[in-house]
Amino acid sequence: MPAPLKIKLTPEEDLTLLELICANGVPRRTKLRVIALRLNAQGYNVREIADYLDWAEKTVRQSIHRWSSLGLMGLWEASGRGRTRRWADEDWLAVERWLTEERRYSARQISQRLQSEKNIQLGTEQVRRILKKKIGGGKESEIVRQTPLNLKEYKQN
């Protein structure tokens, strides 16, 4: 059985961690790590924290060790997580230009055009997801596309 882990937080550290829990824009995973640290500092053991957060004990231990070695920066994810993008913002600008042309494009056609002109291999479903994320989908996006930029003109018609 591993040795029990126990951290001690100064009042300033505890206040900082409490503010992180309440702050907007802090990732959920980071907030859960903060909760685990504060519970440990209050006397809860690793097993109790793991049961409460529905985590593995190893995850709780890793969070505590990261706090001990890296401090506040140990709460956030390391950079480089996830898959790297295959397309860049200038590629999205090219797609926007294509969509403002007088013709309509399907996701498959955009995928083929990206392959031929930009040498970017994106599947049809991936193009569809990107378009939905950037533009939106359904009837609402159709209304937005038909709405003139000047709302005064739109209300007069």
Separation CA 59–CA 33 (nearest Å): 9
Helical segments of the chain, H only: 11-22, 28-41, 46-53, 57-70, 89-99, 107-113, 124-134, 139-146, 151-156
Q: What is the phi-psi region of residue 10: left when phi exceeds 0, alpha when psi lies from -120 to 50, beta otherwise? A: beta
> What does the pLDDT read at residue 87?
76
Higher pLDDT, 93 or 138: 93
Q: How many Å from the N-terminal Cα to the C-terminal Cα in the chain?
A: 75
Q: Which CATH architecture has domain 11-75?
A: Orthogonal Bundle (1.10)
Q: Is the CB of residue 7 less than 8 Å from the CB of residue 68? A: yes
- pLDDT class of 46 with cuts at 50, 70, 90: very high
Question: Looking at the predicted structure, is the pLDDT value of residue 150 above 50?
Answer: no
Higher pLDDT, 134 or 151: 134
What is this structure's pTM?
0.55
Q: For 85-109, what is each residue's pLDDT tens digit? A: 777 888 888 888 888 887 888 889 8
Separation CA 47–CA 36 (nearest Å): 11
Type of residue numbered 102: E
